[in-house]
């Protein structure tokens, strides 16, 4: 597995990371803990050094899973986690945003214990909190960096002006946002700003929450608790309309003797050398498939063909329901 540096931060990670959320949260019932520990360790054996989690995944259980799985190889990996949500103490679920400095400090202390680490490698603000100036957020993380409890600062789904304000207080190592062949909005403002500022980019949902793999169609049913049940882009009507995009990918993949997922990931890797996608999976076979994308080299002609073909398919449906869309790009 090749390595990449996230912008000018000096933070070096594998070209593909592993998003661990779906092992515990978001896509139906949590997977078997022992199996997920084995999967994470298998990823390490195959060269993956970058693992993504958050306190709200579970909540808490995903950090505990990642911490246990990576404890024996701590010196070989980079672990990213997140702060910024308020959790209801009775239900354990999100009940709003909270990026007050005292809350950031409390989350850091708790995450350090769950992850079994002495320092958090990359600490993201999970969503921008409009009630707390981003300068105060960056300042709180800066203090944690000085104390040796955090190594790098990141932001998830922020607007460009917020990035600039945060970066002026403490260097932002990486931005995490959705980016894939069916969500290319970051190309408009975000990617140029990150290139200018020397900040790395970590696309989550690089396979369109599974849709770009070709394993989902209009007849697919999702389990109770699966986030896709409330996503407009995943209504049966939208999936039927968006199938044309998967068909295009499948045809291109066949030309490269690859899978649709591999082409989608290889396309992302080819966009910028400081982009590190974090596809998630709970299946060993999918892990192998995803990691195979790192070996695919797409030529400029390939990229033109893919971009041209995909641009002919207008994607149907919003990527978030309205109440969640309000939390991004601020």
pLDDT (0 to 100) of residue 94: 79
- CA–CA separation, 2 and 70 (whole Å): 20
The single residue of 57, 60, 124, 179 carrying the catalytic annotation is: 57
Residues forming a β-bridge with 178: 204
The pTM of the full predicted model, rounded to 2 decimals, is: 0.97
Strand, helix or coil for residue 19:
strand
Q: Which residues contact 140 (CB under 8 A, 6 or more apart)?
A: 101, 104, 105
Phi, psi for residue 304 in degrees, rounded to 5: -65, -45
- pLDDT computed for residue 305 by the predictor: 92
Q: What's residue 95's pLDDT?
A: 83
Quick check: is 57 catalytic?
yes
In this structure, what token pair is assigned to residue 280?
């998630």
pLDDT on residue 55: 96
State residue 92's pLDDT score: 67
| Token duo for residue 241 | 């309309």
Inter-CA distances, 100 with 23, 28, 84, 140, 235, Å: 29, 31, 8, 9, 37
CA 99 to CA 130: how far, in whole Å?
A: 9
Residue 174: count other Cβ atoms within 10 Å of its Cβ: 25
By the 8 A CB rule, do 234 and 228 touch? yes
Q: What is the DSSP string of 135-192?
A: HHHHHHHHHHHHTTSEEEEEEES--HHHHHHHHHHS-EEEEEEE-BTTB-GGGTTHHH
Per-residue pLDDT of the chain (330 residues; tens, 9 = 90+): 999 999 999 999 999 999 999 999 999 999 999 999 999 999 999 999 999 999 999 999 999 999 999 999 999 999 999 999 999 877 767 789 999 999 999 999 999 999 999 999 999 999 999 999 999 999 999 999 999 999 999 999 999 999 999 999 999 999 999 999 999 999 999 999 999 999 999 999 999 999 999 999 999 999 999 999 999 999 999 999 999 999 999 999 999 999 999 999 999 999 999 999 999 999 999 999 999 999 999 999 999 999 999 999 999 999 999 999 999 999
Termini Cα distance of the chain: 35
Distance CA 228, CA 224 (A): 10
CATH T-level assignment (fold) for domain 3-209+272-296 = TIM Barrel (3.20.20)
7-27 pLDDT tens trace: 999 999 999 999 999 999 999
Tokens 């790098």 locate to 152
In three-state form (DSSP H/G/I as H, E/B as E, the rest C), the secondary structure along 201-263 is EEEECCCCCCHHHCCCCCCCCCCCCEHHHHCHHHCHHHHHHHHHHHHHHHHHHHHCCCCHHHH
The ranges assigned to domains in the chain are: 3-209+272-296
- DSSP class of 276: -
> What are the backbone angles phi and psi of residue 96, rounded to the nearest 5°?
130, -170
Would you call 123 helix, strand, or coil by DSSP?
strand
Structure tokens at 71: 């404890």
């Amino acid at each position: 597995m090749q390595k990449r540096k996230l912008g000018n931060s000096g933070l070096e990670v594998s070209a593909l990371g592993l998003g661990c959320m779906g092992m515990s949260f978001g896509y139906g019932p949590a997977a078997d803990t022992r199996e997920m520990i084995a999967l994470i360790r298998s990823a390490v054996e195959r060269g993956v050094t970058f693992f993504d989690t958050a306190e709200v995944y579970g909540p808490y259980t995903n950090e505990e899973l990642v911490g246990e799985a990576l404890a024996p190889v701590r010196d070989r990996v980079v672990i990213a986690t997140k702060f910024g949500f308020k959790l209801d103490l009775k239900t354990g679920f999100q009940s709003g945003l909270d990026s007050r400095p005292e809350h950031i400090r409390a989350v850091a202390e708790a995450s350090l214990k769950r992850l079994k680490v002495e320092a958090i490698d990359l600490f993201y603000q999970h969503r921008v909190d409009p009630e707390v100036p981003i300068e105060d957020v960056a300042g709180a993380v800066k203090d944690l960096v000085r104390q040796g409890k955090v190594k790098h600062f990141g932001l998830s789904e922020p607007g460009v002006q917020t990035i600039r304000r945060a970066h002026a207080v403490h260097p932002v190592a990486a931005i995490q946002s959705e980016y894939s062949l069916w969500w290319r909005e970051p190309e408009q403002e975000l990617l140029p700003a990150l290139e200018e500022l020397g900040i790395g980019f970590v696309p989550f949902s690089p396979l369109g929450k599974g849709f770009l793999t070709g394993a989902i169609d209009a007849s697919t049913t999702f389990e109770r608790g699966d986030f896709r049940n409330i996503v407009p882009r995943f209504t049966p009507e939208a999936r039927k309309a968006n199938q044309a995009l998967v068909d295009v990918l499948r045809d291109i993949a066949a030309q490269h003797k690859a899978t649709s997922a591999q082409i989608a990931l290889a396309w992302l890797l080819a966009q910028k050398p400081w982009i590190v996608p974090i596809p998630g999976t709970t299946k060993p076979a999918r892990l192998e498939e995803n990691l195979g994308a790192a070996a695919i080299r797409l030529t400029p002609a390939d990229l033109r063909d893919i971009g041209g073909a995909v641009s002919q398919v207008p994607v149907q449906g919003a990527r978030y329901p309205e109440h969640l869309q309000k939390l991004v790009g601020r």
